[in-house]
Amino acid sequence: MKALIVFGSNTGSTKEIAETIASKLSDSGIMFDLVDLKKEKSIRPEGYDLVIVGSGIKMGKWTTEALNYLKDHEESLSLLPHAIFVSSGFASEPSRREQSKVDYIDAVLDKHPILKPLSTGLFGGLYDWKRYNFVIKRLVISLLKSMGHTEIDTSKPLDFRDWDMINAWAEELVSSVMEGNQ
């Protein structure tokens, strides 16, 4: 059994989530290819037993590469087990979580009605200050303030990813793929 995990990541958060999912697959004896779509766009889904597509969210949008992957391969994806996930700042905010599912998962799937993912993952985000220029830093600070964060320490990354949730999601996904294969 072999899985493909492809991702589009602006500042590395989705990449680390994808790596964590890959490691869970590996623990279950599933071989995998892990592909950063910003570096390699030509990887095709055909021939894999599971394909997972992940994206970071920036200014309300998926990365272009991940979105294009869904668009370019929707037919092939629809014929094999597939799952999608995002890393989003709003996903970790209880008051914004439901809307972020609507905006970043449901809205994307609405554009690809033939896709029926086994599972969708909505994971919190990472704010890695050293990756931002001055303008982006100000923007992220105001984004965090709008979410009710008052004391923002920019001397170290702010990580809102729930690794237990991510690991549990990957484990459940593995179980449903295994069940489907029996």
Q: Give residues in contact with ligand FMN (CB under 6 A).
A: 9-14, 56-60, 87-90, 100, 125-127, 136, 139-140
- For residue 128, count CB atoms less than 10 angstroms from its CB and return exposed for 0-12, middle for 13-18, buried for 19 or more: middle
Report in angstroms how near the CB of residue 128 gets to ligand FMN at its nearest.
7
Question: What is the enclosing helix (H) or strand (E) of 52?
Answer: strand 50-58
37 bridge partner residues: none
Maximum Cα–Cα distance for the chain, whole Å?
Answer: 53
What is the phi/psi pair of residue 113, to 5°? Answer: -60, -20
Q: Which is nearer to ligand FMN, 36 or 49 (CB)?
A: 36
Distance from chain centroid for Cα 129: 20
CB of 39 to ligand FMN, least distance (A): 14
Closer to ligand FMN by Cβ: residue 58 or 178: 58
**Residue (79 or 107) nearer to ligand FMN, CB:** 107
Q: Which residues fall within 8 angstroms of residue 179, CB to CB, at 6 or more apart?
A: none
Specify the 3-state DSSP secondary structure of 54.
strand
Q: How far is the CB of 93 from ligand FMN (least distance, A)?
A: 8
For the CB of residue 180, give the shortest distance to ligand FMN in the complex, in Å.
28
Q: CB nearest ligand FMN: which residue?
A: 56
CB of 86 to ligand FMN, least distance (A): 8
Query: Of how many residues is the chain composed?
Result: 182
